[in-house]
Structure 1
Amino acid sequence: MTTRLIPLDQLRFGHEADPPINARRVGRDDGIAELAASIGAHGLQTPLKVKESHDKDGVVGIFVGTGNRRLAALRLLVEQSQMAVSDPVECTEFDATVDAKEAALAEQINRIDLHPADEYVEFRELADAGMSELSIASRFGIDPKRVKRILALGRLSSVVIDWWRQQEQSNEVFGAVCAFTLAPSLDDQEKLFKKLLKQGDVRAWAVKRALGADNPQAARNIKIAGLEAYKAAGGQMTTDLFGDNHVITDPDIAEKVAEEKIAATIAGLKAEGWSWVSMGADLGYYWEHSWKREKAGDGKATADEKKQIKKLEKTVAKTGDAGCAEELAALQKAIAGRQWTPDQLSKAGAVVKIGHHGDLEVCRAVVKPQAEKKTHSTGAPKEKGPPTISNALHQRLSGQATLAVRQALQQEPRVGLVALLAGFMTHRRMHANSPVRVYHEGFAKKHGEDKESFASVFARLSDMTDQELFAVAAGCAAEAVHMERPHNGRMPFDADAAPLAASIRPDLLAVALQETFDAADYFGGASKPFVVQAIREAINDEEARKADKMKKADLTAFALANVPQTGWLPPELRAPTYSGPGKVPEIGDHDPAEHDPDFDEVDEEEDEFEDA
């Protein structure tokens, strides 16, 4: 085989030949920058294979049959002033007796890529020999963040790496291997691997669960407080280089700093002068939709003030310095005074809202609705029906049901996927009976922040195992659960929502409903007959007869002290799997509009809000 040195500017791509002599059509430009960096650092390791094309007047051009990506990388080095266009390039020629296109195809087909395990071990040996991560990144054209991942995989226990080499390459196998990087030592990796292999469950989620990387509450708390505050308080963690499943060693510290962050936020809002400050979770679900908000003036914080606030917040979170806390409160009050009038501050309040993943958001100038006023229509008196709770209390209870189903559904991956698909296939604008309402806007934050691109989400989800995808689907379904009922003619667990609730593990849903039920709000807001009935169902008839003679304040206190611990829940919160005192309400097949004259209007308003 003849070897020649040919000036770079005389070489042309194989697909420019007539007919083309290279097989690759897809991915011609992929990874060219990385390849150029490697050639620049190590030289051209494999000569280009070329074929001369002639006509009656002589040579038409020299075309590359195999090595077109290398040719593109060499041209990039010229653009980067690392080569000259006239520099010679080592090339070999195709045998004149062989069809160049066929030979190029054969070479591509018979080439076997290096197994990732072998590749990463080689990189690890370079690092062990003294090459820094930055040098590896620059000499091989690899992103520094990816170098950290490569070296973490290359440093895995040989037991895990040998198993990896023996498996058929797949996203599931790669995910499991990545999960082992969360183990604190090679010994821990090997012990866990042998245990899971014996159980026949070497999967990413099993590895993460065994290593403690499945604590969403701790992760949420760290998101609320900030990683710096967690570490400053002495918290330790092993960072997940391949995702967000960090191993949080000190969940108690995470909870503590989150509580401190929330308390500091509330204190700051009170210092601004609002008439009340509350957590969003304490107000029920519907406040975001229907409660009015005052409009702010133009006196917003300047860029310098925002920096100062961030600096003071960080100092207070780390040290608890009283002087800094006072300075922060004074600054926040001054800004609020420019932005809001005294009348607005006295009339409205502020809500601290925490998202599922720990995103902390403050909503200012929220105006609570006035207490419902009883109105009587003129004309003939209507026949008095059975007593009912107020629409406002019914709405709050249905909001609590919504939050409970959301909480439980996140722990039911398969049910979550089914609910997500059912919601997508059935939800429609107006008459929105579906308890899972799937909208097209996605789950990005509002207020101008960009949503994650489809390509980014698709790539991220493609790397997940089936079990992980189920979990994502459950999270999406939970975000979309909507069982809010503004009028008491329709129960939260109606004919549409009941099958969803019945599919969730009873213990999960029972715990979630007990946690979200606001007993003080219910017994304080419901009329006397409902409180007495609760005592009758939860305790006995005798105690109910005694309670019926109490004044409302004493009755409420007695109910709070004796009813919740029995597992009793109001009928509005009794899912089909409810097992506490009292009967589960019968579910009839009905049109919600028959019981709720404002049904269409309410759902249209909610849809418009979601689209906003």
Structure 2
Amino acid sequence: MAKPAQKVTLSPSRDIPFDKLLLSQANVRRIKAGISVEELAEDIARRGLLQSLSVRPVLADDGSDTGKFEIPAGGRRFQALSLLVKQKRLAKTTPIPCIVRDANSAILAEDDSLAENMQRAALHPLDQFRAFVALREKGQGDEEIAAAFFVTPQVVKQRLKLAAVAPALLELYADDEMTLEQLMAFTVNPDHERQVQVWEAIKSSWNKEPYQIRRFLTETSVRASDRRAVFVGVKAYEAAGGAMLHDLFQGDDGGWLEDPALLDRLVSEKLQAEAEVIATEGWKWIEVSLDLPYGYTHGLRRLSGDPAPMTDDEGVAHAKLLAEYRALEEEYEGQDELPEEVDTRLGVLEVAMEKLEARPLIFDTEDVARAGAFVTLDRYGELAVHRGFVRPEDEPREEIDVHSGEPVADGQGGDVEASASNNAGGAMITFGGQALEETTADDEDEGALKPLPERLLMELTAHRTLALREAVGRSPDVALTLLLIKLVGDTFRTSNSAGSCLEASVRHVYMSAQASDLKDSVVAKLVDDRHAEWEADLPLGDDAALWDYLTALDQGSRLSLLAHCLSFGINALHEKVNPYGAGISASGLTKRMTQSDLVARAVELDMVEAGWEPTADTYLNRVPKARILEAVREAKGEGTAQLLDHLKKGEMATEAERLLKGSGWLPDVLRRHDLEALDGAEGQGASDDEIDPDPADSVDLPAFLTAELPGDEASKVAAE
């Protein structure tokens, strides 16, 4: 016979005056958590008590009723009510809804307190987001919602943004198939279709980090901190109809501009407008380019101008700034450390004075008529104008005729690389275009190693040429030896020199193919600084004065100047071989590269110290996967290379960049072959005991690469 189910009896509820209630010592909550009592009190004052208190009668020692009730469950609500009573916003005798448990119940008071706190389920964050949306749809504003739930309006905007993610992704988050951090990353781009595309692309990948999601969602956009955006201005971009993307959950440097084509058009229009204003100064030509390559002034003569004097207002402003600066210096003279606000003010004064002291140059009108200017952007997005450069064909006819003895036709400037237009001032404005990237062979070819792409070889050897130039420039003995090799060749071999009494000369070698980071490299800065120092000292305008200056130099200075000048003729560039005679032949290229190795050995060139390192942009993404694995294998060993073998090209390049950082690995074209031979000789003497049997053991690898590989014993056990 079935046992009848026991009927459940619930405790009765009743209203009890507040002054009859007291907090039970059986309440298990001891540690503060959640919203504060003050916020809970404000919430009760706004919407009333949403949940009754659980109480038990307090009995006297003899078991009689005292008329008081203790609260084992609901202590924080009682404390919030107490605060309202203390603030005289609630009367002491106000009836409080309570559930009254029998004083002699078999269930302990601690049991009630524990159950109330443990048997509740916290609201899922997605339900919070959707609840905020419901409140917004029913007419409540962000400020009103924020005040009701004691959060900031920014938090409200964030939760509303999370609720606006693609519904399919919200369902994944609800099923715990996506983390909150990943969901937050998807809010960067409001395009639901694109959000789903990105998730489909990465859901099976090892890398589903939020930063990767943000990168994919903004890969076709331009950061507001980009110099083009700084130059145009976000307001001007938005006024032209451009859309912005913003990240509400982390710093985004002002967001992303979603229409790069519109931005580029605005940059071009603004640069051209600036060029047209500069053209009214009377220049013969103006070249506009977003990026001027390293060595863009090669072959041009720079005009020397006089700094423009300050106006009366500028002079008064400068004197006032200088007086304040000196007064602060005198006031705090002798102190070991300046107060922070004083140090900041001195910095502001210095910048203001430097701005006034940086005077524009005034050029001779006749020189301006034959010279030109370059208009570009600096790295901070500011307009940069470099005035006063004369092309060889624009030099005065008389001067050229005397030196060359050849007739010169009138010219209007060099080749125009892009569209050009004459403005009202008559200047030819040209827009220099960037060289197109050559396409490489199939990056996914898993066959034998293919030769490096021509463009990449040219860029790599441009780095090496500039590093050699810097090294020879500080090595007078090597420069002198190099010059003697040239002179011996001219003296003892057939020479076709003409137009000069001495064939020895330096032709500034222009690197037509170069990576974007070359002009900002360490060696470029060293070369430019050394050149600027000599240029500041040399009296270049008068041959007689230059002769006197050079003859007065000490021998060490003369050799240093010789080395510097000779370094500009260094040409270690790999160039395309032309079998039909024009350009360089195969044998000529071999001879050039062999001699550059001799020079590199003489100056002890180290391309690692020169600042080159293999990154995804400079090398790894430019070569097939086999080349990437070869680099990792040479730097970290076969074991590490095998761990990367299964990755896709982009992931392999990224991980290889991390592994190769600081390793000193160089592609063959950048290596010193004499050092390779020396290392090989030393390696032959190593015993088997000295060789690490598994180089991967000592490499700091990410977790996904250190997991047991299929075939390992641990993997076999797991598979069973």
Calculate the TM-score normalised by the size of structure 1.
Answer: 0.45
Structure scoring higher RCO (CA < 8 A, sep ≥ 6) equals 1
Calculate the TM-score normalised by the size of structure 2.
Answer: 0.39
**Bigger helix share:** 1
